[in-house]
Amino acid sequence: MNSNRLSKTLRSIALAAMTGTALLGSSMAAVSQETPLTFWLNYPAAGFNAGYELAVKNGYYKAAGLDVKIEPGNGSQITAQLIASGKADIGFADSAPVMKLISDGAKIKILATILQGNPNQITALKGKGIASVKDLKGKSVAIPNGGSQAAMFPLVLAANGLTASDIQQVNMPKESMVAALLQGRVDAILGSIDFFAIQLKDLGAETTDFPFIDNGAPTVSTSIVASESYLAKNPDQAKAFVAASLKGWYAAIDDPKAAVAAMKEMFPDASEEQAPAQLEATKYLMCVNRAKFVGKATPEQWADTVSILGKIGMLPAGKEATTYYTYDYLPPESDLRPCPLT
């Protein structure tokens, strides 16, 4: 090989090496630009939180510059406390316990509301002579130990001209309530649209249901929440996360099977059996209670929620609703999915 030819070959090798190094550096830079973020669910993976897993699967978070890790939760109260204590930055939790913590001084904000009505409801079997809440007079009602159902139930009774003395309240563990209803040990239970109702349907029961949101307790529910310290340090990341999460939920609305598959892929131990029905219940709750856009509760919904939670002693009087939530991290309404869903 002559010297000119050798020189050209060496230059080509050097150029290739430089190009490869540049591409590797570019790739590493792209990876480094994806900011790690851990997001805590309200409960273990299920249909009612599958929109986030689909956002991961479809690459919405990565496109927004985020490397999101999803952690299963152990109840909204626990998730809210993790954020309040600084052990987590952002999560998915019922608004009621979050607002309670805020009223007690926790530095948290609600950023986007996925369930615009709480899923609580009174459930009775068809053919038992209970066609309205007023028909519960003189009847036995199973009350779960703990939870928001028991706290809000007096408001539902009052809105329908009843008091606690008009019914026979039977306290019992949540795990016993479906069986108690089916076996006739109680006339009705305080259940939920996205859990007990699905169990009863799977067992072939026909029920009459009275959602709290339609019978005196129209509060907003499960939302994306974050610590104020995280928001102060990472406002752009928070906005990107909320937008990508809503995009994941919109995709779940359009393709529920894909959402359930994404949930199962990320969490192999998650149950697929009730996930489609849970997702359908979530879709329903996204646009109830006078909602106008998926993910954004109206000021009127928030005002009602503050008033209702104040009446049951969960929140103090005199605090503005905006103490608890902000619209600053939501996309513009032109980018939100309008209600009702079709």
How is the chain split into domains, by residue range?
Answer: 35-117+219-335, 120-214
Say what the pLDDT of residue 318 is: 87
Say what the pLDDT of residue 24 is: 37
Fold of 35-117+219-335: D-Maltodextrin-Binding Protein; domain 2 (3.40.190)
* Among candidate residues 103, 116, 144, 72, the one with its CA nearest the CA of residue 317: 103
Whole-angstrom distance between the N-terminal and C-terminal Cα of the chain?
A: 72
Four-point Cα dihedral 308, 312, 316, 319, nearest 10: 0
Q: Are strands 140-144 and 168-172 parallel, antiparallel or unpaired?
A: parallel
State yes or no: cis peptide before 211, omega within 30 of 0. no
The most distant pair of C-alpha atoms in the chain lies apart, rounded to whole Å, by 106
Q: Global pTM?
A: 0.87
Q: List residues bridging with 121 in a β-sheet.
A: 191, 211
CB 216 within 8 A of CB 159: yes
**Which CATH number is 120-214 given?**
3.40.190.10
120-214: same fold as 35-117+219-335?
Answer: yes
How would you write the pLDDT of the chain (342 residues) with one tens digit per residue? 444 443 444 354 444 444 444 433 443 344 458 999 999 999 999 999 999 999 999 999 999 999 999 999 999 999 999 999 999 999 999 999 999 999 999 999 999 999 999 999 999 999 999 999 999 999 999 999 876 788 899 999 999 999 999 999 999 999 999 999 999 999 999 989 998 999 999 999 999 999 999 999 999 999 999 999 999 999 999 999 999 999 999 999 999 999 999 999 999 999 999 999 999 999 999 999 999 999 999 999 999 999 999 998 999 988 999 999 999 999 999 999 999 997
CA distance 52 to 44: 12
